[in-house]
Amino acid sequence: MPPRREPRARRRAARPILGSLAVAALTVSTLLPAAACCRAPSPDPDAVAWHTWTNDDLGYAIDYPQSLRPRRQGDDEVAFRQGLFAVRARVVWVSEEEGRRRGLWPGHPAVGEGELAGRPATRFDYEHGDGPFVSRTLSWVIPYRGKLLALELRCTGEPDAAQRRMLESFRLL
């Protein structure tokens, strides 16, 4: 006859397995909606209302479709999210050192030139990791007020029509 402690020992042995299953379920339930959102196309830019995000402190404005929700992240960044997780675009103002520390475009090779707010910009195309998420990121970067100001678009291919309109609408005040 087994000792009375065996059922308790079995329960203890099952705890790590149950804990692992719970973590796996949470991870899948979190990542799958985010991945689906990242692949979801932006709406037809002519079929939706547009709003303007203005940062008076830094002196810029950008238009964005109503399907995106701007979320300011400190004084130096605003992210435009689709749904809860998917960042479709963001504006970042950082020093080169801060950009490297955060895994942004510094430290990645430039892929060409472009234009941001009517100014010559350096373009970057790199994989950016935010915690468990990795996203292809296209960045247009200009020197601005002693730091670097960038519009970053997250996409799997080329920017879609709504993202292109955001890029074209970006302006310095």
Domain ranges for the chain? 1-39, 50-172
pLDDT at 129: 83
- In sequence order, what are the beta bridge partners of 158? none
**Mean pLDDT confidence for 55-84:** 95
Q: Which sign does the torsion angle of CA 83, 84, 89, 90 carry? A: positive
How do residues 81-139 score in pLDDT, each as one tens digit? 998 878 899 999 999 999 999 989 998 999 999 999 999 999 999 998 877 878 899 99
Assign 5 a pLDDT band (cuts: 50, 70, 90).
low
37 class by beta-carbon count within 10 Å (0-12 exposed, 13-18 middle, 19+ buried): middle
- In sequence order, what are the beta bridge partners of 107? none
Tokens of 141: 């970067």
Tokens of 4: 């009375």
Closest C-alpha among 142, 91, 149, 148 to residue 120 = 142
Closest C-alpha among 81, 131, 141, 76 to residue 107 = 141
Give, rounded to a whole angstrom, the gap between the first and last alpha carbons of the chain: 82
Assign 157 a pLDDT band (cuts: 50, 70, 90).
confident
Residue with tokens 């950008």: 62
**Mean pLDDT confidence for 34-52:** 71
Q: Give the CATH number of domain 50-172; options: 2.60.120.1690, 1.10.10.10, 1.10.3720.10, 3.30.830.10.
A: 2.60.120.1690
Residues ≥6 apart with Cβ < 8 Å to 31: 132, 133
Cα separation, 162 vs 115, whole angstroms: 17
